[in-house]
Amino acid sequence: MSLRRVSSVADALIGGWQWAGLARWTSGLPFSLESPAYPTNFDNPAISFNVGGVRTHCNITAGIPHAFDAATASSINNGIYFGTPIRLPYAGEAGNRNTYRGDGYFDIDSSITKSWNLGDWAKLKFAAEVYNLTNSVRFDSSPNGLVQSTGNNIVGTYDVALSTYRRMQLGLRIDF
């Protein structure tokens, strides 16, 4: 169906809309779990070894976001000194770096605009923009945003969010 023969009122309402969107989806950055020991150098703690059974999966328990599922976080803290599922490094070992991956990032931004000519003297423009359309929350897995110290009772908890809440803005502008 062609819309070439619609009235000027219908064209003013339904014609000329423009949509734009931007989506970003990335995998998570790697991170390590620090050991409470200093087997190689007093200034730098070593990294713990994963000996199996550690799964990363973002979940929120009692309002606190975690990098590990509830069973894994509990087993890390309970088994750290017994060598399961994470082993502390022996004397002289530095550990395995970047064994785990964070959640990644997901975001969709979108806008819709429409312009109307108001004769030869002016132009009216409407714009509606939405940032983080899906209201997805993603967390920072760097040492600044994630508790990575094993032996700490809050190991694997996130402190910093990478994404912001959904924001919307509307605009109406006259150019003359």
Look up the pTM and report it. 0.71
- Give the largest CA-CA distance in the chain: 83
Q: Cα–Cα distances in Å, from 121 out to 16, 117, 175, 176?
A: 19, 8, 9, 6
Quick one: average pLDDT of 2-23? 80
Map residue 102 onto helix, strand or coil. Answer: coil
Q: Which tens digits make up the pLDDT trace of 91-133?
A: 888 788 888 888 888 999 999 999 998 888 999 999 999 999 9
Q: Cα–Cα distances in Å, from 150 out to 60, 74, 94, 131?
A: 19, 11, 15, 36
